[in-house]
Amino acid sequence: MKQFINVINDEIAKVFSSNDIDTKYADLKKSDKSQSCDYQLNCCFALAKEKKISPAEVGGQIVSLIKDISCDGARVFETCEFCMPGFINININTNAINIYLNKMFSDKNLGLEVIYNDNESSQNIKNIKSVLYDYGGANIAKPLHVGHLRVAVIGEALKRLSRKLGINAVGDIHMGDYGLPMGLVIEQLRDEGIENTFTIDDLQRVYPLASKRSKDIKPDGSLVDPDFDKRAHDATKALQNDEEPYKTIWDRIVELSIADLKERYGELNVEFDYYYGESTVKDIMGPMCKDLIENKIAKESDGAYIIDVSSPDDKKEMPPCMLLKADGAYLYSTSDLGTICFREKNFKIDEYVYVVDYRQSLHLEQVFRAAKIAGLCKENKKFHHVAVGTMNGADGKPFKSRDGGVLRLETLISDARDKALEQLKNSGRDMEGIDLNDLAHKIAIATIKYGDLSNSPTRDYVFNLDTFSQFQGNTGPYILYTVVRIKSLFRKLGVTEERFISFIDNLKTFDTSLVNNKLLKDISLHILRYKNTLYTSYEQYDPSVLCRYIYELSDMFSSFYNDCSIVGEQNPSVKDYYTSICIMVYKIIIEILEVLSIDVPDKM
């Protein structure tokens, strides 16, 4: 189903083409001056130049050409006039808006269809039918910290957004589950004699201990415990050869860790389809490297093996991708390339999206190029790196715990929960029969996730719990509050989901002269931009577009809520109209919160 604004643009384009005006100018823009008009057409300057007449003359001609256009039997423009120095200002007819709203909400999918069948989506995403999101990066045996928050939350939202648009999307956590850290942990567990009985708490305690033990040096620069470091290396190698008891211990580590990760990510409503890790590709890397060396794709350099990934039309210098260390050991790039092999073999993917810290931009660029050069995937395979910025503290530096260490995600969530609980208690509201802890958790998650998602993914942002917890402004709690108020209205009005459609049906025939409310018109026009907003968000890999959209919608709705008594409205026809506005706002916000994977309580 075509979007309202595109329907109008198409009508304008028809008129333009039969009057020798380039149809590219049939492009309505939301007006910056929303007080005076809804949309504007900015083509007068360009056309004036083209046709060598004044903008005013062009404007006058265009106005007379388009002012009477109609769609679905309804006149589209209420007003359409030229304004100096060169704008055409347009007000949309409310009746046309209501007819279109009815059409949109009568469609169970709100007018969305599969993106690659859609004549409105841009060329570069049209062919995308399946996307794999790589967005976890958690490490086995290590607790999640704030650094894991952004990628998880953004990745999950992008994955769900794809699905909303009919694209087959899968998420892979791509765990760090192999290599030296494993050897360190295993040896430490063995030293403590708990290699068969350890718990997840033991693991999280042991890792920093073992890491420190292997690195501690004496004043003269030599290791305090060289034996331990060597044993850890040996254990790592033994594990790679599936030797016992290392294999059994490692299996237990993985099992406990995945269970814990599922629970932790679950608190954030983040779930992965696959818990693959570096170990998944351990048997792929060897043959892959051998093959690349034999085929001269990887070349020897200072004992190591590298793949030249530079290209003649590079504007910047592009260092080679390193495949093997001089001692023959694998690197990050090796496992990333192995992972591409694995995914190509086991999935049918049109685009790979890596939601990973921006500091890995160069590394990933090298890997993507190397994969193509090495023939691990097709030359035209699409790779995209969502270069995620860091979450900073008030000082503008990466967020730290109070004592200056890495802040655990758990701690962050529990701080937010405490804050929510405190706010609930201070609100003086009747919370009879409500599970306060559950509610506080929902608010906390909304606070944290929305705070993160509402910022541009590729930029650093300042995390401030006090700001994010507020009920004013573009915050999670404010959005939740808006939805909860609408839910409360539905209870008062006796409106249930099943009855939504009957109210929507009334829109078709509603006598628009009964209500002359600019706010309601703005809300309606905003709702009609839903599809376009999802597309923009998808094309830009940016969930903050969705946040801004529902914030604006919530903001307008709150004003409406304040201005008009909905439950108390006397005219039944107007009351139904108000109700349908509530329903539409509610549905849109709920759908987007589902994409952002933020739960909404019934009351708060």
Residues in 454-473 at the binding interface with RNA, rule: CB under 7 A: 455-456, 458-462, 467, 470-473
| CB-based contact 100:319 (threshold 8 Å) | no
CA dist 531 and 212 (Å) reads 52
Binds RNA (CB under 7 A): choice among 317, 379, 403, 498: 317
Q: Judged by CB under 7 A, does residue 535 bind RNA?
A: no
Q: Minimum distance from CB of 158 to RNA (Å)?
A: 16
d(C-alpha 41, C-alpha 59), whole Å: 9
Report the C-alpha gap between 8 and 47 in whole angstroms: 20
Q: Out of 5, 16, 58, 89, which residue is the one contacting RNA (CB under 7 A)?
A: 89
Q: What backbone phi and psi angles, to 5 degrees, belong to 367?
A: -65, -45
- The length of the chain is 604
Three-state DSSP at 158 gives helix
Q: Per-residue contact track with RNA, 173 to 202, x per CB under 7 A?
A: ---x--xx----------------------
Q: How far is the CB of 350 from RNA (least distance, A)?
A: 25
Residue 566, C-beta contacts closer than 8 angstroms, at least 6 positions apart: 489, 493, 575, 578, 579, 582
Position 240 contacts RNA (CB under 7 A): no
208 lines the binding site for RNA (CB under 7 A): no
Closer CB to RNA, 104 or 445, in the complex? 445
* Pick from 171, 170, 177, 108: nearest CA to 140: 177
The interface with RNA within residues 242-301 (CB under 7 A) comprises: 278, 301
- CA atoms 297, 303, 304, 308: torsion sign: negative
Question: From CA 568, how far away is CA 566, in angstroms rounded?
Answer: 5
Other beta carbons less than 10 A from residue 57's beta carbon: 14
Minimum CB distance to RNA, residue 463 (Å): 9
Which position among 561, 592, 593, 595 is part of the footprint of RNA (CB under 7 A)? 561
* CB 469, CB 477: distance < 8 Å: yes
Which residue, 7 or 329, is less far from RNA as judged by CB?
A: 329
> Which residue from 97, 203, 285, 604 is in contact with RNA, where contact means CB under 7 A?
604
Q: Does 562 bind RNA (CB under 7 A)?
A: yes
Q: Is 563 in the site for RNA (CB under 7 A)?
A: yes
Stretch that binds RNA, among 85-93, 99-107, 229-237, 504-512 (CB under 7 A): 85-93
Looking at residues 376 to 435 of the shown chain, list those that interact with RNA (rule: CB under 7 A).
396, 420, 423-424, 427-429
The dihedral built from the CA positions of residue 532, 545, 583 and 496, taken in this order, carries a sign that is positive
Q: At what angle do helices 544-563 and 572-595 cross, to 10 degrees?
A: 160
Interface residue with RNA among 85, 208, 375, 405 (CB under 7 A) is 85
Of 45-53, 189-197, 237-245, 285-293: span binding RNA (CB under 7 A): 45-53
141/306 with CB nearer RNA: 306
What string marks each residue from 11 to 40 as x (binds RNA by CB under 7 A) or -? Answer: -------------xx-x---xxx---x--x
- Could you say which of 164, 363, 369, 529 contacts RNA (CB under 7 A)? 363
Among 161, 304, 349, 407, binds RNA (CB under 7 A): 304
Please spell the DSSP secondary structure of 498-561, one letter per residue: GGHHHHHHHHHH--GGG---HHHHHHHHHHTTHHHHHHHHHHTT-THHHHHHHHHHHHHHHHHH
Decide: is 362 part of the binding site for RNA (CB under 7 A): yes
**313 is a contact residue toward RNA (CB under 7 A):** no
Q: Is there a contact between 417 and 445 (Cβ–Cβ < 8 Å)?
A: no
Size of interface with RNA, in residues (CB under 7 A)? 91
Residue closer to RNA by CB (options 33, 290) is 33
Nearer to RNA, 166 or 389 (CB): 389
Q: Please pick, from the candidates 358, 373, 408, 512, the single residue that binds RNA as defined by CB under 7 A.
A: 358
Total Cβ atoms within 10 A of residue 154: 26
Q: Find the angle CA(355)-CA(359)-CA(360) to the nearest 5 degrees.
A: 60
